[in-house]
Every structure is written in C-alpha cells, then in structure tokens.
C-alpha cells in the first residue's frame, strides 16, 4: 500500500511530456511489430531492442533537453541553424505524415473491428471495412481535437499505459510458470544472410521506440507544459520525466516480444496481415494465458493505447507544421489566425490519410512495413538536425551535452546512416 501511495503522490505528478511520449511510442512498434518479432524469431531480436534504444537515446533526449535549456521547442533550434533546416523538417514531415497516420489508424481500426465484431460490415471485404472504420476514427479524432475534449484522453494516458504494463507483466509471469513449450520446438532463427529477415528487421527497428519525429513533438509538448505551468521545467525534472517514458517503453517492447515468443513461436501459427485478424490473435493471447476475465481489460487498454497514438499523431502533424510556417514566414503568419492554419493542416492530414486507406491499402501488414521502413531510412536526417541544434552556440554552455554524449551521438549517427545506406543498396 505504501508503494502505491508513493507512486500516486510522488512519482506520477512529476511525469508529464514523458508519458505523452510513451503514449505516442507504445503503438504499432510495440503491439504489432514487437509481438510479431517474438512470434517469428523467438528471442533472437531481443538484443536488437536494446541496441536501437541505445543508438537513438541521445537524439530523443535532445527534444526535452533543448526546451529545458532554452524555453523554446527544438524547431527554434533548427531555425537558428538556418531556414534550410526548418525546410528539411517540413519537407520530410509532408512526405511521410500520410503514410504514418494511415498505418497507425488502420491498426486501431483492426482492434475496433475485432472487439466489436464488425468483420464483413455491410458485406464489404476486410480492406474496405478497415478504410470505413478508419474514416470513423479520424472523424471522431477531428471532433475531439477541434472541441478540445481530447485533453481528457491525455490525462488518462498514465492509467492506460499502467494497465497495459501490468497485464503484460502478469501474462509473462503466468507463462513462465506454465510455459506451453512452443519455444523449444521453434525452428526459425534470424539470419543476416536472409534478405526477407533483413527487411523485417528494418521494419521492426524503424519505429522502435518511435518515429524520430516524436523527439520534436516531445519538445513541443514540453514547451506547452512550461506555458501552462507559467515556469520553465528544470533540466533535472525534464530529463527524469523523459527517461521514465523512454526506459518504460523499452521494457514494454521487450514484454510484447516475450509474449510473442512464448505463445506463437514454434506453435505452427503465424500472425495475420489483416488488421482485425491480427487484433483477434493479439487479444486472444492474453485471454489464453490469463483467462476470459482478462479479455475486456486488455481490449480496452490496447484500444485506448492505439486510439491515443492515433489522435496524438493527428494533432502533432498539423501543430508542428503550423510552427514551421511561423518560423519560415513570420510576417505572413502574423496576419493569419493560427487556429485556422492548424485546422487547415488538420483537414489536409485527414484527407491525405483517407486517400491512402481507400485507394492504396493492401493489408495492415504491408501498410505498417512501408511506414516503418520510411521512418528507418529517414531517421538519420532528424538525428543530425537534433544534434546540430543541441550543440549550437545559442544553447547555454552549461546545458550542452559533454564530450561523452557527443561521441555517443557520432557513433549513433554512423550506425543509423550505415544501416540506411545498406538497406537502400539492398
């Protein structure tokens, strides 16, 4: 009871944008990709989760670190480098946001379809059903965003992530005491000489722990928190908040991979590419392990997590694009209503997403693979921008990372660039 009291009264109030980061990160990369990785390769890719988190850590940290150091979001740091840096970010965002939004939305739609038994809705095929339900989800998100009621969902993120974590850990503990023995009979080992395996690895790591764009969003959320609190969050508090979210999502990714490995690997079954079918398999794992009582709990937690990710992305894209326009065209924006600019880009994001879902959707699996591969290849660009902004002279010297962190960044950049080039050549 004392532990619960300490968590509720001492720890949770200190957490803010770090848990928004967790809410955005724990989505496709965890529920879908990590579980599939365990189901296909067992525990072979567990080390990959650790390595990619170590490589990407400084670049994600620089988002909240920059805001704690300067009081501004890191897009202002890009502007200090020159307009070219803001243009690079804007063009990258415009070229990837529709496919990223579509991938997240279609996974959420798969959960809705399975939980509420909407397969074969109106006699349509699974892809059309997924597109129709995705349209409904985007309409709901739009309504919540323009009315401001989505703030309630943000407040529930802490509880949502906690429920998902507790049920996942409980499922793993149950399996350890009652292992079905699938892993022992598994025969698929990851091989770097297998092109199919390498392509899966790239898709797996593309959004692990999240798209690099989230580092910018985290910085924007931190700036908003400072404005709402009326004071700048200290560097110590900002980094603690970030690390709780970052380490927590890493551990959760390992949990989902473990579930996939213990339940699916060597069972003779494979995860379905269709969103609704995959959702049924995912939720069925918990039901099989913990019992029927766990189904409604994990169903609500998983759906709430994916819906939170969907609405967070739908808000983040137009919000950051609006900020880039303010930095690139300050005189033009000064004569415009910022809320109108946000609304226009919100509608553009929805329209582009729906175009992909209705005309280019082949399956959830393919959609996720395309989006995550794009994120993998593009990650070095944003990592470079974050590093240049953080080490720029406008950041007070006492808040700039030390030589050790710079070496860490350079090593990570070499790894990210080398992997991206290797994939493109492959």
Tokens 């303010």 correspond to what residue? Answer: 326
Q: Determine the pLDDT at residue 345.
A: 93
Q: What is the pLDDT of residue 149?
A: 58
Per-residue pLDDT tens digits for 219-258: 988 888 888 778 888 899 899 989 988 998 899 899 889 8
* Among 168, 167, 127, 93, CA closest to 273: 127
Of the pLDDT bands very low, low, confident and very high (cuts 50, 70, 90), residue 1 is very low
- In this prediction, residue 187 carries a pLDDT of 66
Q: Is a pLDDT exceeding 80 seen at residue 20?
A: no
- Residue 79 structure tokens: 């502007």
pLDDT mean over 72-94 = 95
- Please provide the DSSP assignment of 379-399 as one string: HHHHHHHHHHHHTSTTS-GGG
For 88-141, the pLDDT digits (tens) are 999 999 988 998 899 889 889 999 998 998 887 777 777 888 889 999 999 999
Rounded to the nearest 5 percent, the helix, strand and coil shares of the chain are 80, 0, 20
Tell me the CA end-to-end span of the chain in Å, nearest whole number: 54
| pLDDT band, very low/low/confident/very high, at 336 (cuts 50, 70, 90) | low
298 pLDDT above the threshold of 50 = yes
Q: Which residue range forms the structural domain that includes residue 398?
A: 2-425
DSSP secondary structure string, 307-369? HHHHHHHHHHHHHHHHHHHHHH-HHHHHTS-HHHHHHHHHHHHHHHHHHHHHHT---HHHHHH
Among 367, 156, 413, which residue's Cα sits nearest to residue 275? 367
Q: What average pLDDT does range 347-357 have in this prediction?
A: 94
Q: Percent of the chain at pLDDT above 90?
A: 33
Cα-only R_g, the chain: 21
pLDDT band at 65 (very low <50, low <70, confident <90, very high): very high
**DSSP structure string for 180-191:** -STGGG------
Give counts: helices (H), strands (E), the chain: 17, 0
Would the pLDDT of 4 be above 50?
A: no
Q: What CATH number is attached to the domain comprising 171?
A: 1.20.1740.10
Supply the pLDDT for residue 207: 84
User: How many domains would you assign to the chain?
Assistant: 1
For 147-204, how does the pLDDT look when each residue is reduced to its tens digit (9 = 90+)? 875 566 556 666 777 777 788 888 888 877 765 555 555 567 888 888 889 888 988 8
pLDDT of residue 335: 55
CA-based nearest residue to 238, from 20, 2, 8: 20
Mean pLDDT of the chain: 84
**Residue 309 — pLDDT band, cuts 50, 70, 90?**
confident
pLDDT at 8 over 50: no
Confidence of residue 3 (pLDDT cuts 50, 70, 90): very low
């Amino acid at each position: 009871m004392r532990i619960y009291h300490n968590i509720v009264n001492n720890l949770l109030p200190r957490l803010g944008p770090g848990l928004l980061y967790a809410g955005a990160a724990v989505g496709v990369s965890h529920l879908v990709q990590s579980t599939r990785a365990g189901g296909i390769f067992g525990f072979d890719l567990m080390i990959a989760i650790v390595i990619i988190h170590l490589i990407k850590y400084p670049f994600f940290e620089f988002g909240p670190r920059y805001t704690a150091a300067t009081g501004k979001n890191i897009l202002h740091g890009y502007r200090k480098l020159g307009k070219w840096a803001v243009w690079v970010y804007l063009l990258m965002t415009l070229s990837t946001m529709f496919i990223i939004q579509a991938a997240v939305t279609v996974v959420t739609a798969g959960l809705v379809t399975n939980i509420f038994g909407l397969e074969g809705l109106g006699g349509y095929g699974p892809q059309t059903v997924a597109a129709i339900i995705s349209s409904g989800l985007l309409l709901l998100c739009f309504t919540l965003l323009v009315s401001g009621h989505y703030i309630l969902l943000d407040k529930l993120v802490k509880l949502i992530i906690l429920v998902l974590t507790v049920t996942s850990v409980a499922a793993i503990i149950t399996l350890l005491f009652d292992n079905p023995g699938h892993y022992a009979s598994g025969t698929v080992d990851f091989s770097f000489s297998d092109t199919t395996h390498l392509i899966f690895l790239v898709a797996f790591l593309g959004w692990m722990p999240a798209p690099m764009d989230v580092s910018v969003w985290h910085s924007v959320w931190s700036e908003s928190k400072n404005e709402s609190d009326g004071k700048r969050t200290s560097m110590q508090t900002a980094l603690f908040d970030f690390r709780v979210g970052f380490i927590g999502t890493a551990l959760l990714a390992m949990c989902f991979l473990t579930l996939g490995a213990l339940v699916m690997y060597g069972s003779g079954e494979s995860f379905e590419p269709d969103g609704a079918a995959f959702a049924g398999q995912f939720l069925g794992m918990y039901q099989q392990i913990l019992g029927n009582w766990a189904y409604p709990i994990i169903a609500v937690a998983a759906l709430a997590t994916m819906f939170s990710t969907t609405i967070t992305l739908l808000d983040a894209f137009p919000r950051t694009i609006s900020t880039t326009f303010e930095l690139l065209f300050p005189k033009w924006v000064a004569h415009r209503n910022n809320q109108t600019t946000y609304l226009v880009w919100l509608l553009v994001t929805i329209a582009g997403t729906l175009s992909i879902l209705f005309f280019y959707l082949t399956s959830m699996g393919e959609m996720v693979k395309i989006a995550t591969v794009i994120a993998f290849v593009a990650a070095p660009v944003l990592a470079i921008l974050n590093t240049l902004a953080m080490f720029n002279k406008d950041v007070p010297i006492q808040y700039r990372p030390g030589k050790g962190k710079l070496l860490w960044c350079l090593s990570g950049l070499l790894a990210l660039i080398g992997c991206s080039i290797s994939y493109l050549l492959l």
